[in-house]
A and B are shown apart, each in its own frame.
Chain A
Amino acid sequence: MDEQRDLVAKSRLINEMSLKNRLIEFFTKWEVLLCIIFASMFIFFTLRTPYFLDWFNLMNATFQFSEKAIMALPMIFIIMCGDIDISIASIIALCAYVVGSAAQGGASIPSMIALSLLVGTLAGLFNGLMITTLNMPAIAVTLATQSIFRGISIGLLGDQARTSFPEGFGFFGQEFIKGTIIPFEFVLYLVLMLLFAFILHKTTYGRRLYAIGNSAEAARFSGVNVKLTRIINFTITGFFCGLTAVLLASRILSVRSNIATGWDLEIITLVVLGGVAITGGRGTVFGVFLGSLLVGYLKFGMGLLKFSGTLMTIVIGSLLISAVLLPRLLDLYKANRKLRLQAQR
């Protein structure tokens, strides 16, 4: 009898602990932490300036980060497989050149977009083929193609700019959805975000990405065509570079060869900040969504408070490092806790 009572008491104890454990588990999840950081940032800015919590301002601010946020989506796939692509800004520049030149040549808007998407897809395919067929590291190959793609647009454009665009082209990057204050770009981003979340979390293809990221070897032995999957990732990314180039050209209506310089690192920052492990195999689209919004609104809010751009770069750099350091410290804390609990039992 005593023994039984003891057992019941013990199991109750364990249950209570597991509730507490589950709470700790929940609040130490990176996505949840991001939500908390995001909410406190909103509260901070709202208290400090009356212009922050204003629907029109909040929507207008999305123009500044929608394009980068869109690029972060396919980048999730690449990083999920343990690859990296530092040539995306250059592909965007190349596609923007194509868009600008086609516009100057009198092409129609649909053909401009089609050309841009085609060039971007081909550039991404080239990256993917170089990396997988010869088994070269993605960072080295995309370092080279970064120079090549940017170099082509510099070589063709020189110090010129393309500034003549057909009537109505400004819609994609400047206009709002009819009758609302929501920018078209942002709606496009939300739709794409849901699409990528569906692919990553609900389809076989998405599960394969996780498998490759955790162990490419094991994935290969389980029948996943690792090379093909990686090529597809790079090609998709190229396609979205083409799309982003259209949005960017439409927003600023001027294409120079130095367009989108430095975006590679900014976009990788968004993805890593969103909780995707740089070694692959871990992360969610929702996390990257939060990370993108966090960086976007942080910049917007700091701008409202007249913080210098300098301070923003320091804050974003520190955020990135803590984004990786914090979960690691939490993991350590959790492991220690587990050990202690086991010792108590």
Chain B
Amino acid sequence: MPDHSFASFAKKAFARRESTLILLLFVLLVPISVRSPQFLSMKNISTILNDMAILSIVAIGEFYVILSGGIDLSVGSIIAFSGMACGMVNESYPQVSPALLLLLGIVIGLAMGLVNGILVAYGKIPPIITTLGTVNIYRGMTFLLSKGTWVTAHEMTPAYIALPRTTFLGISILLWIAFFVIALCYYFSRFTRTGREIYAIGGNPTAAKFVGVDENRVRVVVFLVSGALCGLAGALWTARYASAVNEMATGFEMQAVAACVLGGVNFSGGAGGIIGVVLGTLFLGVVTNALPVIYLSVFWQTCVQGLIILLALTLNTLSDQHKNKKLLAQRRG
């Protein structure tokens, strides 16, 4: 007999990781906004959201790879290559529209993701090794492409630079794109066959294969998605920061992985959701933005981020273990 009472609903809702994260976010926001009322002003909120838009896109790509039981360390380099390519095309062919540049970024990302995916799926190289190799190769290719030079703001067209800043219904295009990606990926992971197959492969590859999931195909798909999203992020990155530099997005993979960890994505694969990842990204954004408010020097930002990741990880693990114990007890009883 299913229990439909409010109490059981509330219990279920609180058992979900997403609600824990929202709760934590509020716990964090209350003292901050008491200390500095401007923190929750529309302007500051929109700053935080815009700062986090690109990270959320990349973190979602990283999410799919981690969900399948792998990891993608090459995201920063894919962003750099795609961003550099878009910047250089914009410099040499100003007539190419910004929308087409975004498309170019996605295509480049797809190609790089495909290489990762093929090496992992058919070369049977562990994802961490594959992407540890390609993070170097793609970064090197970025240097080869640019011959070490930069693309600066005055070499880019105003239309391209303005793209992420232009507002539509009071919200920047950058945010609209992020919303669109989030919605699309939510649908993809919840309601499509391939999306569910990624969960299956991450949860138990052997069992998934027995029910007919094509493991190789899924492994290629996750890297394709990750690559495409990084490609898009690269094109947006160049426009938002109005420059394409060879070293751009170095170490961004750690931020993306951190957002996933905060969002409750399990490293052994098969568990986690898009909403959690987005909340994790937001959490990182709030913490980063809040440090000056509590008079902590920006120099401590890295340390605080690390502590929060460790805390989130510990809480997630403890709650998982608690759940498993309860399940075991139920089975026995």
Contact B304 A320 (CB under 8 A): no
Enumerate chain B interface residues (CB-CB to A < 8 A).
71, 73, 119, 123-126, 128-130, 132-137, 139-141, 143-144, 148, 254, 257-258, 261, 267-268, 297, 299-307, 309-310, 313-314, 317-318, 321
What are the 3 closest A-B residue pairs judged by CB atoms, nearest first? A151-B303, A147-B306, A317-B136
Residues of B within 8 A of A272 (CB): 129, 132
Contact A139 B306 (CB under 8 A): no
Residues of B within 8 A of A154 (CB): 299-300, 302-303
The residues in A between 241 and 288 inclusive whose CB is less than 8 angstroms from any CB of B are 265, 268-269, 272, 278-279
Residues of B within 8 A of A311 (CB): 140, 144
Instruction: Describe B's contact surface by its main secondary structure.
Output: helix
Residue from the set A311, A312, A320 with the largest chain B CB neighbour count within 10 Å? A320
Contact A278 B129 (CB under 8 A): yes
Residues of A within 8 A of B124 (CB): 328
**Residue A140 at the B interface, CB < 8 A?**
yes
CB distance from B120 to the nearest CB of A (A): 11
**Residue A106 at the B interface, CB < 8 A?**
no
The residues in A between 141 and 193 inclusive whose CB is less than 8 angstroms from any CB of B are 141, 143-152, 154-155, 157-159
**Residue A343 at the B interface, CB < 8 A?**
no
Contact B318 A155 (CB under 8 A): no
Contact A320 B129 (CB under 8 A): yes
Residues of A within 8 A of B128 (CB): 84, 139, 278
Residues of B within 8 A of A136 (CB): 313-314, 317
Give the distance in Å from the alpha carbon of A321 to the alpha carbon of B132 in the complex.
8
Give the distance in Å from the alpha carbon of A21 to the alpha carbon of B294 in the complex.
69
Q: Which of A135, A151, A325 contacts B305 (CB 8 A)?
A: A151
Give the distance in Å from the alpha carbon of A152 to the alpha carbon of B305 in the complex.
11
Contact A317 B135 (CB under 8 A): yes
Residues of B within 8 A of A151 (CB): 300-307
**In the complex, what residue of chain A is closest to B268 when comparing beta carbons?**
A137
Give the distance in Å from the alpha carbon of A136 to the alpha carbon of B313 in the complex.
8
Give the distance in Å from the alpha carbon of A144 to the alpha carbon of B123 in the complex.
30
Contact A310 B143 (CB under 8 A): yes
Residues of B within 8 A of A269 (CB): 132
Give the distance in Å from the alpha carbon of A310 to the alpha carbon of B73 in the complex.
18
